[in-house]
Amino acid sequence: MGNFYNPVRVKIGTLNVIKDVLDTIKPQYSKIILMHRGGDFSESVAGRNLYKSLEGFEVKQIGVNISNPDVEDLFHYYKQIEKFDYQCIVGIGGGSVLDLSKSLAALKNMKIDSTTNLRSVIKQKLYNENQNIVPWIGIPTTSGTGSEVTCWATIWDRENGVKMSVDSEHLYAHSAIIDPTLTVSLPKGLTASTALDALCHATEAYWSRSSNEISRIYSLEAIKRIVNNFEKVVDQPGDIQLRKEIALGSLYAGLAFSNTRTTACHSISYPLTLELGVVHGIATSITLAKVMEINFKSIIENDKLLQAFGVSSVSKVQGLIEHFHQLSGSSSKLRDYKANEEIIEKVASNAFTKGRMDNNPVALTQEDVKQILLSIY
């Protein structure tokens, strides 16, 4: 039961549909921030198409050359655009670009003068009262984050060893444009790790305490598409039809967890990434089958979940994920990321992110988390 809500206008097609999106907002907005991945973006086909579509607008471009943005990175970009009176942000890129676009949309005109100040704005969610939040448009170039259809962004605080969120109902994108051709040049490892992230979003949404009948349908659809096409897309990265299947899988996973948020796997992944540098999609999926085993009896229609994975038991999910890790060139064992007993203790004690761990259908203790981590050591 429950209510499903997501206000993002989703356009599936080519990047060119941005013209239609901008036409609907052009009367009000003329100054745009274009956030992209930097590097050779301006020379790419997508870059050139996008600039053409933005003719007639005053555009300030920001190339983002970092990933997993920290509060200091966010402050750096905030200062770069602070004096430009932007009315809309277009973000084209992976999760980091989209999360920064969303966060900067929230911070417009907030007169932030230091990272310390920004840290407290985020912690106290002061952007919630900001009357100057601007609309943003999300154009993902990876298939995994789901940020284009969720209302929160991950901002790390490495100085304090924690993950923070910029999170508000006001931060859904005005529109999301899903163009699978933007993902064809993604390298194998990134294709695999982002797809694994989406697989976790869908699976965790399915068993989340906040799941509802509609989110569960999106979850199952997402899992089927990702599982059925994972090996093929890693093998044939230039195949647009396969890219579309994974892009839709990621979108459906995003829609599912936009309503439910994630659970124990994501909660455990944050300290794994902070302490051991494990890539997000690997860090979330590395505990997926173990957490599924613990949750299994509490999962509504758990048979449908296994069917979506195309397996007959949870132990086979473990085998499937290990196979996917192998295809991505990653290990499924923590020892290969230089974990040790001390780090495992630290990860277990920092694995309890509010709104994530308490969203797991089964309450886990620190000792439970430690045992999960030891079982994949």
User: What are residue 204's phi and psi, to 5 degrees?
Assistant: -65, -35
Least Å distance, CB 203 to Fe ion, is 11
Beta-sheet pairing, 162-167 with 152-157: antiparallel
Q: Where are the beta strands (DSSP E) in the chain?
A: 9-12, 31-36, 58-63, 88-93, 136-140, 152-157, 162-167, 175-178
Least Å distance, CB 254 to Fe ion, is 10
Is the Cβ–Cβ distance between 46 and 92 less than 8 Å? yes
Which CB sits closer to Fe ion, 163 or 290? 163
| Both tokens assigned to 317 | 């999910």
Q: Measured between alpha carbons, how far is 305 from 331 in angstroms, rounded to an integer?
A: 25
Q: Which of 361, 332, 327, 365 is nearest to 187 (CA)?
A: 327
| Both tokens assigned to 190 | 């990134």
Least Å distance, CB 106 to Fe ion, is 20
Is the Cβ–Cβ distance between 30 and 58 less than 8 Å? yes
Which CB sits closer to Fe ion, 99 or 197? 197
Which CB sits closer to Fe ion, 108 or 290? 290
Least Å distance, CB 61 to Fe ion, is 27
Least Å distance, CB 262 to Fe ion, is 7
Q: Measured between alpha carbons, how far is 148 from 201 in angstroms, rounded to an integer?
A: 14
Q: Measured between alpha carbons, how far is 128 from 244 in angstroms, rounded to an integer?
A: 35
Is the Cβ–Cβ distance between 245 and 228 less than 8 Å? yes
Which CB sits closer to Fe ion, 73 or 197? 197
Beta-sheet pairing, 136-140 with 175-178: parallel
Least Å distance, CB 50 to Fe ion, is 26
Dihedral over alpha carbons 273, 279, 280, 281 (to 10 degrees): -140
Which CB sits closer to Fe ion, 87 or 154? 154
Least Å distance, CB 24 to Fe ion, is 30
Q: Measured between alpha carbons, how far is 277 from 263 in angstroms, rounded to an integer?
A: 20
Which CB sits closer to Fe ion, 179 or 197? 197
Least Å distance, CB 283 to Fe ion, is 9
Which CB sits closer to Fe ion, 108 or 356? 356
Q: Nearest residue to Fe ion, using CB?
A: 197
Q: How many CB atoms lie within 10 A of CB 96?
A: 24
Helix (H, G, I), strand (E, B) or coil at 56: coil
Which CB sits closer to Fe ion, 285 or 318? 285
Helix (H, G, I), strand (E, B) or coil at 165: strand
Least Å distance, CB 19 to Fe ion, is 31
Which CB sits closer to Fe ion, 110 or 279? 279
Using CB under 5 A, list all residues that contact Fe ion. Answer: 197
